[in-house]
Amino acid sequence: MSFLTGKSALVTGGGTGAGRAISLRFAREGANVAVNYSRSRKEAEETVSEIEKLGVRGIAVQANVAEDGAVREMVNKVAGDLGGIDILVNNAGATQFVALDDLEGLTDEAWHVPMSVNVMGTFYCSRAAIPKMKANGGGQIVNVSSIAGIIGRGSSIAYCASKAAVNSLTKSLAISQAPEIRVNAVAPGIILTRWVEGKEEFVQDNLDQTPLRKVCTPEDVADAVFGLIASNLVTGQILTVDGGRSL
């Protein structure tokens, strides 16, 4: 029996990519999983179907994580349906591709998208879930960040800044919510998801600069998230999963 058996997890952006892999990994370990989605309803419901085939409960719940009211409503529903929240994975993310040297192309919208979803969304979900976790005796939060927040290279300057903020938020929450709640982050390199479809040159450029000559799969991220949750003395850490790209 896994230590996750009977636990309840909420995974934002859980219907596709890394979020789907994380959701299914939790389900295989015996956790009940709430799969959040913003627009990908079909994919979220398909993920829930796969979760339920594993013999645990799964629910799909819609919410734009950049909207505080929608997040609070989502968290209340998940806690009510699954008997609380033990684990939150802030995986939902957004970006717009803007070349790093194209400063004029970095419009207010190009800033607003990653900052509202990646930073405020992570904060809103964490703030809403923390009281539910404490009511259950404690819990864990894992934020899916990016090496872009460490090395300053990525899909845009705004995206890099947003992920650096997520890393900082991870540390601040780890300090402020201890000892009841552990907070960590996973910082992958490029993940092979629909985000990079049609951007073969971007992927190859990163691959050429990666010592292991590999890019992340969604399952690589899921393994890292699971590892952080399993490590009882780890909090406030940013675990890079990038094949050495950030070295």
The per-residue b/e assignment along 81-113, b for 16 or more CB within 10 angstroms, e otherwise, is ebebbbbbbbbbbbbbebeeeeeeebeeebbeb
**Residue 156 has what pLDDT?**
96
Per-residue pLDDT of the chain (247 residues; tens, 9 = 90+): 899 999 999 999 999 999 999 999 999 999 999 999 999 999 999 999 999 999 999 999 999 999 999 999 999 999 999 999 999 999 999 999 999 999 999 999 999 999 999 999 999 999 999 999 999 999 999 999 999 999 999 999 999 999 999 999 999 999 999 999 999 999 998 887 776 777 777 778 878 888 988 888 999 999 999 999 999 999 999 999 999 988 8
The confidence score (pLDDT) of residue 206 equals 77
In this prediction the pTM is 0.95
Domain ranges of the chain: 8-189+218-241
CATH number listed for the domain at residues 8-189+218-241: 3.40.50.720
Task: Give the per-residue pLDDT at 215.
Answer: 83
Res 44: pLDDT: 97
Residue in the structure block whose two tokens are 């691959």? 207
Which residues are marked as active site?
A: 159
Helix ranges restricted to H, 87-156: 108-114, 121-135, 148-151
- Rounded CA separation 72/74 (Å): 5
Q: What is the reported pLDDT for 198?
A: 75
